């Protein structure tokens, strides 16, 4: 399914890198930024998530909870988070439930890997409505963080 702005965000329940259960519907009342990424420890994913880490104060000021999501195991994500000193939760979508619901799964990725999340960004408002949706086919690109910031400014005003 292709998720578009104005749609109700699909709910999901995933575990974070600390083994805690996170359910999207339980985030109601908060703005949420979901960042799907292909694989931990890869160069573009590291660059993207470290950029978010370095700008987390801005996201906090914009009243948004940031989650990184990949199909990696929660154990791999915990090591990645620790090594990169990431300051926001990483969610394991090992069973590909959220990635499938958001239409962010590659049929074929590099080296014949299947079922890897496409790099994607979704801003979900306090009522659970998608306010921004970007799914990138090229895993070497990163989301348009300026457009994401503009969207967050708009929904906070």
d(CA 2, CA 4): 6
Q: What are the structural domain ranges in the chain?
A: 13-156
Q: What is the DSSP string of 132-156?
A: EEEE-S-TTS---HHHHHHHHHHHH
Q: What is the CB neighbour count within 10 angstroms for residue 94?
A: 18
pTM (whole model) above 0.75: yes
d(CA 116, CA 133): 18
Predicted confidence (pLDDT) at residue 112 exceeds the cutoff of 90: no
Residue-level pLDDT at 111: 59
Predicted confidence (pLDDT) at residue 128 exceeds the cutoff of 80: yes
Confirm whether 45 is a catalytic residue: yes
Residue-level pLDDT at 101: 96
Instruction: Note the CATH number of domain 13-156.
Output: 3.40.30.10
Report phi then psi at 36, rounded to 5: -80, 135
* Residue from 9, 45, 71, 142 carrying the catalytic annotation: 45
Residue-level pLDDT at 26: 96
């Amino acid at each position: 399914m292709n998720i578009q702005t104005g749609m109700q965000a699909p709910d999901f329940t995933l575990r974070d890198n600390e083994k805690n259960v996170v359910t999207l519907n339980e985030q109601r009342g908060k703005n949420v930024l979901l960042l799907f990424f292909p694989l931990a420890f890869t160069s573009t994913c590291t660059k993207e998530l470290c950029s978010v880490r370095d700008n987390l104060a801005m996201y906090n000021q914009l009243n948004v909870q940031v989650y990184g999501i990949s199909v990696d195991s929660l154990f791999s994500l915990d090591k990645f988070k620790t090594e990169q000193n990431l300051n926001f939760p990483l969610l394991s979508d090992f069973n590909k439930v959220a990635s499938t619901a958001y239409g962010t799964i590659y049929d074929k990725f590099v080296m014949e890997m299947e079922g890897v999340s496409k790099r994607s960004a979704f801003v979900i408002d306090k009522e659970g409505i998608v306010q921004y949706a970007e799914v990138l086919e090229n895993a070497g690109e990163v989301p348009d963080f300026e457009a994401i910031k503009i969207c967050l400014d708009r929904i906070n005003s």
